[in-house]
Each structure stands twice: as C-alpha cells, then as structure tokens.
Amino acid sequence: MSWRSAPAAQTGNPTGHRTARRTGQPTGHPAEPPTGHPAEPPTGRRTGRRTGHPTGRRQVLVGTVALAAAALCAACTSSVPASGPAPAVTPAPTSAPSPTAPPEPENPWGPTAAEVALATADAAELSDEEVAGQVIVGRLHGTDPATAEQLVMDLHLAGVMITGASVASLEQVRSLGAGVQDAVAASGRDWPAIVSTDNEGGLVQRMSGAVGPWTSFPSFAVAGEVAAAGEPWLVRDAHTAMARELRASGVTVNWAPVADVTVPGQDVTIGSRAAGSDPATVGAAVVPAVRGLLAGGILPAVKHFPGHGSLTTDSHLALPVHEAGAGHLAATELPPFAEAVEAGVPMVMVAHVDVPAWDPGVPASLSPEAYRVLREELEFAGVTVTDSLGMGALAQIGDPGEVAVAALRAGADLLLNPADNAVAHAGVVAALRDGTLERARVDEAAGRVIAMMRHQSELAEAAGPPGAVGDGAAAAEALVAAAY
C-alpha cells in the first residue's frame, strides 16, 4: 500500500486526498498571512550554464550542430541552377524543430529539469577523483579552517559538515566556511560549496547562544504546537531568521527540519526534536520550516526518512529495526515527508533503519527499495542524502569505502560525514574504475548536487543581505510566546 492510499482518519486529512502539488499547503493546515512575511523563494530558472562556454563532450555536440547547419545551408544554395527554368520544389520548413526540453518533475525542488541536465553534463566532464568528491560532504576534525580547506582541496569534496566540535567562535566558523569556498573556487567550480550544520533548535543546535552570539531557537516540538494552533507563519518566520543567521556565519545547508513522528515512551532518539506525535501536526510544522529556511537562502533537508520517532534503538549506536508494515508506514510515518516534498524541499535525508517491509536486514540508507519508495511513491526528484555514515548502525556493513559505494549504488546522491573521508573517496574511485559502480550513476548524483548548489546561490541572492548574527532573537521569542 502506498502512502496515497493511507486511511484518511490516520493522517488527519478528512478527505484522504492532497491539495494541489505546486502549493505545498496540505489540506487542513491553516493558511499563512498573505503579507508582511518572507516571499516564496524564486524558482531559479535559468537558460544555461553560468560560464556559457561548452567544453569537452558538450563542445563536440555544439560543433556537430554547427557543421550540420553549415552543410544544410550549402545544400540549399547549390540546389538553385544558374540559368533556365527553376524546377518545381517542395517548400522547406521555415525553421528547424527545437530540441525537446526534459520534462519537469511532478514536485519541483529548486533547479529546473534543464538545469539538472546541464549540471549532469558538467559532472560527466569531471575526472573520477573529482566526481567522487562531489558526492561527499566531509567529516571535520577540530576547528582549524586551514585543515578544512585542505581537505576539500585534496579530495575534491562537495563540502563539509560543521558539528559542535568544529565550532569555537563566530569568527572561526566564518573563516572555516570562507576557506572551504576558496578551495572550491580554486578548483574551477562555478557552484558554491556545501558548508553545512545541524541547527534544528533545542537540543540539536550547533550554533546557539551557548557557544557564541547566535540565537538559541526552541525545540521543534514548540514549532509543532504553534503550527497546530493555527499560526504556521511564526514557524516560517523563526526559520527564516535562523537561516539568515546561518548564512551570516558562512553556512549554506542546514540538516533540518525533523519530519519524524515521535511515539512518547517508546522513542529513545528523537523526542522533542520532532514536531509532534501525529502526522498532521508534524506536517503542519515541517512545511513552514522548509519554506522559512529557503526564504532565508539556506537549503534544508527533511529527516530521517522513513521515520525514526517510534524506534527503541538509537541508530548512533546500533541498527534499529522498524517492524511496522507498509500500511502503517504509509499512514503514519511517510505523510510529513510527502508534504515536505510537495512544498519543494530540495533534500531528503535517509536514515540507517532496517525496514523489513521493504528490504529485510538492510539499512534504508543502503536499500534500493527505500530510494524507490521515495522517488516513485513520494515522487521526490531532489537530492537524497544519507544520514551520517560514521554512525554505529553501519558498523557491521563494511569499511567506509564499501559503505559509500553501497549507498551510491542503492540510490543516494550525497554521502554525509563518512567515518574516514579518504577511505570513502578512494572506495568510490576504485569502484568506478573496476566497474562495480557505474559512472552514469555517480554523474546523476553529482549533477543533482551541482544543480542544487547553483540554485542555493540564487536563493541567497534573492534573500538579500543576511543581517547580523543574533538578529533572530525576536522571531524565536515570538515562537515560544505563541506556544505558551
């Protein structure tokens, strides 16, 4: 049973149907005020690559088209005799048919289909070492900006993840982000780096008032209460404010919000990180949180697909088993993720959770069936990212290289925080060279990542100057006040 056929009573939707896909506003959720709040992020539609200069295989294609046009022109000229009566000819079409544009996805997620196709062609121009790095977000050790910059340069990484251990001060975080961006620019890439962190609010907030001048935002459970009470715009405003502070710190990606549905008394990992214990409440908070982060110029990722809120084992320590059947998953766990997809979320994080109903004994992050459900049943076209690959749930799978290859083969586009960056990178390169991993699969993954990061730069430009770190205090306080 797919999530579409879930009983309406269990999803909180009395009709059992969703509203128009383009709006992202689920049935039964309070409408947001039309004025006085951040505008929706731009679609990011462009006509082509930023450089405008075809290279390699793309240049061959351009040259071939030009030669064909020249030959056609010569043939037309030579068909006219110098003298005598003109023979009867069939009029030629006035213009050649234009190439068919790739179809747009059912759920737009930022870049257009044409932009993704161009980015995939750009990925195909990269060396094996470069394209392997473009699908990895590296693990940092310590706070040294120079170390982070060298890591990205050496392994051609898409970017890095800033955890609590990598935060010493605002100035240090800014310097680290700038160094990573410098490494990416020096490599010739025309898209920004992924400088990412976990800022959910509450217990999981790497950049908060406890460690620097950042605003401490409340837990996402507070956002759930406010959204369920009919004030989702306060959730959106708080996340826009959070995004602005992150962007002012040099961050481009936030691994939030949490779309899990918690089960109190059973959930050992998520708790107040979730917006609530029913799918309708969680969806009501996730959608404005996604929109708010995008409006502030930051790329969000909903997590932890297909749901971690009912599990009794912490995936940081061991592999949890989600014993629920496909019907329960469709009715209870998946609806918030589906609503985020309809709202235009650019990334979905896939958890290290064994789902016997899909692929017994295999973590969802390494399961082709999990990615199939996400792509085909939820119709998600954006970037799929693994949860951190250094977690205990994967300890019995293999070394970091083997885990990285398994995730990419299953359908992951982005590998987060490998236990060993160099081993993961080398494993992907070796698999490309021996045929274990198809180059087209990695080009597809890297193409989505490249297109997404080009779109992020446009979101940031449209959002305007981020302002000062600490400016989000009023929005955070308004969210808390509305909840209590």
Give the DSSP per-residue string, 130-165: HHHHTTEEEEP-SS-HHHHHHHHHHHT-SEEEE-GG
Q: Residue 257's closest CA among 175, 232, 268, 133?
A: 232
The angle at the Cα of 356, spanning 353 to 361, to the nearest 5 degrees, equals: 65
141 and 164 Cβ atoms separated by less than 8 Å = no
Axis-axis angle for helices 335-342, 279-295 (nearest 10): 30
- Listed in sequence order, the residues at least 6 apart from 219 whose beta carbon sits closer than 8 Å to its beta carbon are 200, 201, 202, 203, 272, 273
Q: Report the first-to-last Cα separation within the chain, whole angstroms.
A: 39
The token pair that represents 376 in the structure block? 């085909």
User: Strands 299-305 and 253-254: what pairing?
Assistant: parallel
Q: Torsion angle, CA of 318/323/327/331, rounded to 10 degrees?
A: -50
For 123, half-sphere exposure in the C-beta direction (CA atoms, 13 angstrom radius) is 27
Round to whole Å and give the CA distance between 473 and 470.
6
Q: Is 53 among the residues known to form the active site?
A: no
Look at the alpha carbons of 278, 281, 285, 287 in this order and tell me if their dihedral is positive or negative.
Answer: positive
Catalytic residue, candidates 237, 267, 278, 387 = 387
Q: Is 387 among the residues known to form the active site?
A: yes
Give the residue numbers annotated as catalytic, written as ranges.
Answer: 316, 387
